[in-house]
Amino acid sequence: MLLSPEVFDSSVLPGYLSRARCTPQLREALHAFYPSGYTSWSPSGWRLYINTVKKMDFGDGGQLYLHQLKMVVRHMNKYYPEQVEYLGDEHDITRILHEMRREKVANRTPFWMRFLFRFSRLFKKQ
């Protein structure tokens, strides 16, 4: 893979990207880039990365940047929840955070459903 964790750390990748030509191949590689393989990066590394991607022009109206911003916000929320709000200083992350809250609420199973499920298991065992 072009953007493997073994090759790029949080200081090298943004420097490389800031000097790279915005080709369709690079756009495709960045679109496939997921933060989950880069758990050693610090929050400042992620801010540097997303700031660099924001400045790149692939002619897609910022779609790649928004995709990567969503990935980075979700990653930081998982590993650095106390620092995810700092991304909001330079990027509009309110919609992403709102979407994550809605997903969290939607994934909660109401108490009455959990109760019925557990209650029904009692009768199945007998």
- Whole-prediction pTM value? 0.76
- What are the residue boundaries of the structural domains of the chain, listed by start? 12-125
pLDDT digits (tens, 9 = 90+) for 16-33: 899 999 999 999 999 999
Residue ranges of alpha helices (H) inside the chain are 12-19, 24-31, 43-55, 63-79, 94-107, 111-125
Under a CB-based contact definition with an 8 Å cutoff, are residues 58 and 64 in contact?
yes
pLDDT digits (tens, 9 = 90+) for 2-19: 555 545 566 688 888 999
pLDDT digits (tens, 9 = 90+) for 90-102: 999 999 999 998 8
